[in-house]
C-alpha cells in the first residue's frame, strides 16, 4: 500500500521549520557579517600585531571559497522542492523566507541590547578612550576614533551568535523528512555520487545556468555589500559618532522590508501564476537600484575601507534614512531571492538539485571576488557597478523565464492530449 497523501498543513509545517532553521543560522551569520570588519578593525586598533585590520573582509572571502566547494545550500533548495508542489512552490518559498528574515529583526534587538549595556555612560570613564568616538574635528586622521567595539561587546555579540547557530542545527535535525504528495522532486537517491557530480559539472555549462549566472553572481555581490561592506562604511564614517544604534536600526529596516515583501509575494503568487518570474524580478531590480542610489548620495566614497571625515555627495546619514535604506533593500533582496528559488526549481526539471548547488556556487564566487577587493574599492564602484550588474541579470533572467514558461506550457499541452486520448 502507498503512503497516505500529505496535507497542506504538513507542507506549511515543513516550510515553517525550514524558515526557523534559516532564521537561527542567519542570526549567527548575517548578524556577525554586519559588524565583523568593524570588530576586527577595533581589535587591530588595540593590538595591531594580533590581526590584520582587513581580516574581516579577507576572512569572509576565504569562507566563501570553502562555501563554493561544499555547495552547502543545495539542502535548502532540495528540501523545498521535495516538500512543495508546482502549485505551492512560490508560496512556500516566501513563507520560509519571511520567517527566516525575522532573524534581521532579532539581530536588531541583539545589537540594541548589547550596545545599551556596553555603552552605558560612566562619570569616571574617559569617553573617547572606551571604544566610542572622537568629537574633535581638529584631530588628524591618525587620531580619529570611529565606532569601535569593546571586548565586552564582542564577547556578548558572538556568544549570542554561536548559540543561535547551534539552535538552527538542532532545528534542521528535527525537521520532517517525508516528501509531500505530488512534490516537485522526490528525495529518493538515484545513481552514484560520481554520476551526480558529473551531472553538476554538465549543468554548469547548461544554457539556462549560463544565462542565470548574472542573477546568481549579483546576489553574491549585492548581499556582501549590504551585509558587510555598507555596515562597515557606516561605522567608519566619523560623522556618525553620535548614532550609536545604527547597527540596530539598519537590520531592523531590512527585516521589515524582507518580511513585508515575502508576505506580499505569497499573496500575489496565489492569485497570479508565475508572479515570481518577470514581475518580482522587475520589482527586485528597481528597489535594489534605488537602495544603491540612496547609499551613493549619502555615504563618503572611501568609507568602506578606512575611517573617514569626508563629506557625502548630498547629505549624511540619519536614523530614519538608514532605516529607509534598509526597508528598500529588504524589498529588493526578497524579490531577487524569490526569483532565484523558483527559477532553480523549474528551469531544469531533471537536475533541480544541481541547479540549486550551482546558484550558490556562483553566488559565493561573487561574494568571494568582492570581499578580496573590498580593502581597495571606493564606494561608488560598488553602487554603480552592482546596479549595472542587476540590469544585465534582469535581461538574461527574462530570457530564461520565458523559455521555462514555454516549456511548462508545452508539457501541459502534451499531458492534456494524452489524457484526451485515454
Query: Does residue 64 sit within a domain?
Result: yes
* pLDDT for 393: 95
Query: Does residue 3 sit within a domain?
Result: no
Task: For residue 421, name the pLDDT band (cuts at 50, 70, 90).
Answer: low
Whether 327 shows a pLDDT value over 80: the answer reads yes
Q: Give the Cα separation of 272 and 332 in Å (integer).
A: 19
Cβ neighbors of 221 (< 8 A, separation 6 or more) are: 366, 367, 369, 370, 386, 389
Whole-number mean pLDDT of the chain?
79
Task: For residue 191, name the pLDDT band (cuts at 50, 70, 90).
Answer: low
Cα–Cα nearest to 283, from 94, 96, 409, 103 = 94
CATH number (domain holding residue 69): 1.20.1250
Query: Does residue 1 sit within a domain?
Result: no
Q: Give the Cα separation of 82 and 187 in Å (integer).
A: 6
Q: Give the Cα separation of 356 and 253 in Å (integer).
A: 28
The residue written with cell numbers 544541481 in the block is: 354
Beta-bridge partner residues of 308: 237
In this prediction, residues 200-221 reach a mean pLDDT of 86
pLDDT in tens, 34-49: 777 778 877 877 777 7
CB 67 within 8 A of CB 364: yes
Strand ranges (DSSP E) for 15-131?
none
Query: Does residue 306 sit within a domain?
Result: yes
Structural domain containing residue 74: 8-186+195-421
CB 336 within 8 A of CB 215: yes
* pLDDT for 137: 47
In this prediction, residues 120-139 reach a mean pLDDT of 43
* pLDDT for 71: 53
Report the number of distinct structural domains present in the chain.
1
Q: What is the CA radius of gyration of the chain?
A: 23
In this prediction, residues 261-285 reach a mean pLDDT of 87
Query: Does residue 2 sit within a domain?
Result: no
pLDDT in tens, 372-420: 888 888 999 999 999 999 999 999 999 998 988 888 777 666 666 666 6
Amino acid at each position: 500500500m502507498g503512503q497516505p497523501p500529505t496535507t497542506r498543513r504538513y507542507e506549511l509545517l515543513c516550510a515553517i521549520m525550514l524558515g526557523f532553521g534559516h532564521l537561527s543560522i542567519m542570526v549567527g551569520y548575517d548578524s556577525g557579517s554586519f559588524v565583523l570588519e568593524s570588530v576586527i578593525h577595533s581589535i587591530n586598533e588595540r593590538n595591531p600585531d594580533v590581526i590584520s585590520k582587513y581580516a574581516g573582509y579577507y576572512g569572509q572571502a576565504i569562507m566563501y571559497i570553502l562555501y563554493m566547494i561544499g555547495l552547502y545550500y543545495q539542502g535548502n533548495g532540495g528540501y523545498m522542492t521535495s516538500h512543495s508542489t508546482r502549485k505551492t512552490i512560490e508560496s512556500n518559498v516566501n513563507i520560509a523566507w519571511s520567517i527566516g528574515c525575522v532573524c534581521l529583526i532579532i539581530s536588531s534587538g541583539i545589537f540594541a541590547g548589547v550596545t545599551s549595556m556596553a555603552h552605558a555612560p560612566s562619570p569616571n570613564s574617559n569617553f573617547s578612550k572606551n571604544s566610542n568616538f572622537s568629537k574633535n574635528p581638529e584631530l588628524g586622521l591618525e587620531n580619529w576614533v570611529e565606532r569601535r567595539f569593546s571586548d565586552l561587546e564582542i564577547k556578548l555579540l558572538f556568544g549570542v551568535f554561536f548559540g543561535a547557530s547551534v539552535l538552527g542545527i538542532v532545528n534542521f535535525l528535527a525537521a520532517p523528512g517525508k516528501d509531500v504528495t505530488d512534490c516537485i522532486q522526490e528525495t529518493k537517491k538515484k545513481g552514484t555520487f560520481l554520476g551526480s557530480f558529473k551531472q553538476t559539472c554538465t549543468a554548469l555549462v547548461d544554457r539556462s545556468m549560463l544565462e542565470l549566472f548574472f542573477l546568481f553572481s549579483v546576489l553574491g555581490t549585492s548581499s556582501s555589500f549590504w551585509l558587510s561592506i555598507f555596515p562597515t562604511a557606516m561605522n567608519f564614517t566619523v560623522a556618525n559618532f553620535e548614532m550609536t544604534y545604527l547597527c540596530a536600526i539598519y537590520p531592523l529596516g531590512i527585516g521589515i522590508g524582507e518580511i513585508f515583501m515575502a508576505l506580499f509575494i505569497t499573496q500575489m503568487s496565489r492569485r497570479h501564476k508565475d508572479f515570481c518570474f518577470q514581475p518580482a524580478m522587475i520589482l527586485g531590480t528597481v528597489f535594489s537600484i534605488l537602495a544603491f542610489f540612496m547609499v551613493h548620495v549619502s555615504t563618503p566614497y572611501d568609507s568602506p575601507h578606512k575611517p573617514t571625515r569626508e563629506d557625502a555627495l548630498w547629505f549624511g546619514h540619519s536614523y530614519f534614512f538608514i532605516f529607509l535604506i534598509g526597508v528598500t533593500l529588504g524589498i529588493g533582496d526578497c524579490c531577487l531571492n524569490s526569483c532565484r528559488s523558483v527559477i532553480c526549481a523549474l528551469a531544469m526539471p531533471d537536475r533541480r538539485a544541481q541547479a540549486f548547488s550551482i546558484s550558490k556556487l556562483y553566488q559565493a564566487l561573487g561574494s568571494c571576488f568582492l570581499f578580496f577587493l573590498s580593502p581597495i574599492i571606493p564606494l561608488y564602484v560598488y553602487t554603480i557597478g552592482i546596479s549595472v550588474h542587476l540590469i544585465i541579470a534582469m535581461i538574461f533572467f527574462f530570457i530564461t523565464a520565458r523559455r521555462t514558461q514555454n516549456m511548462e506550457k508545452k508539457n501541459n499541452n502534451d499531458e492534456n492530449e494524452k489524457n484526451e486520448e485515454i
